[in-house]
Amino acid sequence: MNALQQVPGTDADSTRTARVAYNIGNAKYRLAQAAEASDPKSALGLYAEALAAYRRAMGAAPDDVDAKFNHEFVARKMDDLKKKLEEQQKQQEQQPQDQQKQEGEKQDQQGEQQKQQQEQQQQQQAAAEKKDGEMSKDEAAALLDAQRDQEVRPDEVVKKLQGAAVAEPVEDW
């Protein structure tokens, strides 16, 4: 890499200048590719340097198809890496919010468990207070309500009989 950078950029031989710039671009691209997994931000800088080198190569030799292709390829690669970094940043911002939600849900679950335990304890205490053959107040009230609903009242029987009269036709055809 150092040897390529020592070649003068303002050489009278534009083909040689284009080749040197192209090779510098390739070297920067490979370095960026290697650094992408471990340090994506430095990889972005190396991709930018590769783009600049490919631009110099295209300036020195406008007909060089390889330099144009590599320039476009590295530009796409750079855009993809930027998007990936943005997504990672969004995910990192989301993680604290998700953790807070999870902690809130855990606290809600613990609260519900405590309520259930208290209800069970109350039921056990109520059951312990009952003696054999005795009912709790709630059970007795429910039994009385059920009996009242089944009782036949005399005033209801009279109302049913009065309303059950068979109607005679007004006219006979």
Asked whether residue 25 is domain-assigned, the answer is yes
pLDDT tens sequence across 79-138: 999 999 999 888 888 877 777 777 778 888 888 888 888 888 887 776 666 555 677 788
Domain that holds residue 52: 2-96
Number of domains in the chain: 1
Asked whether residue 45 is domain-assigned, the answer is yes
Comparison of pLDDT for 29 and 93, the residue scoring more:
29
Asked whether residue 151 is domain-assigned, the answer is no
Asked whether residue 28 is domain-assigned, the answer is yes
Asked whether residue 50 is domain-assigned, the answer is yes
Asked whether residue 67 is domain-assigned, the answer is yes
What local confidence, expressed as pLDDT, does residue 26 receive? 94
Burial of 32 (0-12, 13-18, 19+ CB in 10 A): buried
Asked whether residue 113 is domain-assigned, the answer is no
Comparison of pLDDT for 18 and 10, the residue scoring more:
18
Q: Is the pLDDT of residue 6 over 60?
A: no
Averaged pLDDT, 12-25? 88
How many alpha carbons fall within 13 Å on the CB side of residue 125?
6
Asked whether residue 146 is domain-assigned, the answer is no
